Amino acid sequence: MKSQRDTISKILKNYVLCEYCAGRLISKSIGKYPSKFLGKKYIKKFGKSSNQKCYICKNIFDSLDYMLCNIQEKSSNYDFKTFHLGISLKPSFLERDDYLKSKFKIKGIENIKFAVAKELAKKISRRTNSKRITENPDLFIEANFKDESSTLLAKPLFVYGRYNKKVRKLPQKRVMCRSCNGIGCHNCNFKGVENITSIEEKISNFLIEKFDGKQVKINWIGGEDQSSLVLGNGRPFFAKILNPKKCNKMLPKSSNLSNVRLSELQKISLFPKGSIQFKSQVSVTIDTEKSISLNQLKKLKFLENTEIKDSTHDKKSISKRIYKVGYKKLGKTSFILDLLADGGIPIKSLIQNSDMVPSVSELLENQCECIKFDFKNIVI
């Protein structure tokens, strides 16, 4: 007991410490919880009066209210009930803390970084009526005491939905800027993409405006040619909204975005991992080099329950299957082909490319050209 008192006395008589650091350093020795009040009690008993700043933290605890105001001002724009706090300190703080702990053989106490984070988190919790947690918080706060700044980042918001595409010549994805290859330049206004309207742009703008997000990343369930329509129940997609400030806002089940209709919109808890298997119901308009008869079109039934392979791929490539086939003759050299097939089959190649085995041109022994193809339904 006497040796513990001697250690405490030596620390407080030889080093100027604030009440927080004093309470933290001596807490283990006397079996008490570290606190400002514990430090105050022992400084009064063993310490010396001084106008100098704390040897370890340079009175950083006195600046917590300034950092709190900085964080509160920024966090007022966010919807959150839980947060996680990270802090950055100058390395010299940790070095001085470690030096004293080593010199006086103090073990098993929280370090200065943990102590600062704990006190600041208490203040944030009280001021914002929120709770500090470590796993999956609504808001991540980084307090940088090196330059007295703070950075806030909301956890991503995930949305599932479907889209119908009502017009042709509308690409699904944004087109990378040809001048800078996506880096950003004067030609693209430093956005990295061409100034071309796309479904991705429409959905992204809708979700960013709705939830006050920074960026949207979309996981598409298949794709289509820019000249194809997407009809029926629409093509499914999953969207990840980065840093959404207003994550509690209601999401309508559907929305019209000028030639693109969104449906089945809903917030989901997790973003799907890996590829999602799906089937597509496709209607293809085809022209043939030579005249075609209904009798010849019957050969297309061979495609039903047939595996489609790309001969240019290696053995590791996954084969796809066609499940249903229908056809309708339009003219001497044209017909419509209706397919229910696994997603991922390149439709144009299936019709006119000899690399696809079997291909429509090969089956009919008549060179075919895909004029257009539309998606009637997507099933997942």
Shared domain check, 257 and 313: no
Share of the chain above pLDDT 90, in %: 73
Q: How many domains does the chain have?
A: 3
Among 154, 189, 206, the domain-final residue is: 154
Q: Identify the domain containing residue 97 by its residue range.
A: 2-154
Write the pLDDT tens digit of every residue in 271-283. 888 888 999 999 9
pLDDT of residue 51: 82
From residue 193, give the alpha-carbon distance in Å to each of 179, 180, 184, 206: 9, 9, 8, 18
Task: Look at residue 189 and tell me whether its pLDDT is greater than 80.
Answer: no
pLDDT of residue 336: 97
Among 240, 268, 296, the domain-final residue is: 268
Shared domain check, 253 and 296: no
pLDDT of residue 31: 82
Residue 273 domain-assigned (yes or no): no
Shared domain check, 10 and 146: yes
Count of C-beta atoms within a 10 Å radius of residue 226:
16
Count of C-beta atoms within a 10 Å radius of residue 129:
8
Residue 264 domain-assigned (yes or no): yes
Q: Which of 96-105, 327-336, 352-361 has the lowest mean pLDDT?
A: 352-361
Please give the span between the terminal C-alpha atoms of the chain, in angstroms, as a whole number.
71
Identify whether 225 is a catalytic site residue: yes
Residue 113 domain-assigned (yes or no): yes
Residue 91 domain-assigned (yes or no): yes
Q: What's the CATH code of the domain at 361?
A: 3.30.70.3190
| Banded model confidence at residue 309, pLDDT cuts 50, 70, 90 | confident
Residue 274 domain-assigned (yes or no): no
Write the pLDDT tens digit of every residue in 148-161. 999 999 999 999 99
Task: Look at residue 313 and tell me whether its pLDDT is greater than 60.
Answer: no
Task: Look at residue 47 and tell me whether its pLDDT is greater than 90.
Answer: no
Shared domain check, 148 and 29: yes
Among 154, 180, 205, the domain-final residue is: 154
Write the pLDDT tens digit of every residue in 82-100. 999 999 999 999 999 999 9
Shared domain check, 374 and 235: no
Q: What is the mean pLDDT of the chain?
A: 91
Mean pLDDT of 92-113: 94
pLDDT of residue 110: 92
Residue 15 domain-assigned (yes or no): yes
Task: Look at residue 195 and tell me whether its pLDDT is greater than 80.
Answer: no
Which distant-in-sequence residues (6+ apart) come within 8 Å of 271 by Cβ? 156, 158, 219, 238, 240
Write the pLDDT tens digit of every residue in 48-61. 777 889 999 999 99
Cross-strand partners of 327: 337
pLDDT of residue 161: 98
Which tokens in the block code for residue 243?
């840093």
Shared domain check, 131 and 94: yes
Shared domain check, 170 and 139: no
pLDDT of residue 62: 93
Q: What's the CATH code of the domain at 186?
A: 3.30.70.2510
Nearest one of 281, 320, 324 to 300, comparing CA atoms: 324
Shared domain check, 218 and 91: no
Cross-strand partners of 308: 320
Share of the chain above pLDDT 70, in %: 96
Contacts 24+ apart (CB under 8 A), 124-131: 124/68, 124/71, 124/72, 124/75, 124/83, 124/85, 127/68, 127/72, 128/72, 128/75, 128/80, 128/83, 130/80, 130/81, 130/82, 130/83, 131/81, 131/82, 131/83
Tell me the one-letter amino acid at 237: F
Handedness of CA 48, 51, 52, 58 (dihedral sign): positive
pLDDT of residue 264: 97
- d(CA 173, CA 268) in angstroms, rounded, equals 23
Write the pLDDT tens digit of every residue in 172-184. 998 777 777 777 7
pLDDT of residue 63: 92
- d(CA 365, CA 368) in angstroms, rounded, equals 9
Residue 224 domain-assigned (yes or no): yes
Shared domain check, 185 and 141: no
Shared domain check, 350 and 289: yes
Task: Look at residue 340 and tell me whether its pLDDT is greater than 80.
Answer: yes
Between 289 and 195, the more confident residue is 289
Residue 57 domain-assigned (yes or no): yes
pLDDT of residue 2: 52
pTM comes to: 0.86
Between 289 and 9, the more confident residue is 289
212, 225, 310, 374: the active-site residue: 225
Helix axis angle, 112-128 to 19-30, nearest 10°:
110
Shared domain check, 99 and 191: no
Task: Look at residue 306 and tell me whether its pLDDT is greater than 60.
Answer: yes
Write the pLDDT tens digit of every residue in 351-370. 987 678 889 999 999 999 99
Shared domain check, 132 and 51: yes
Write the pLDDT tens digit of every residue in 63-86. 999 999 999 999 999 999 999 999
pLDDT of residue 311: 66
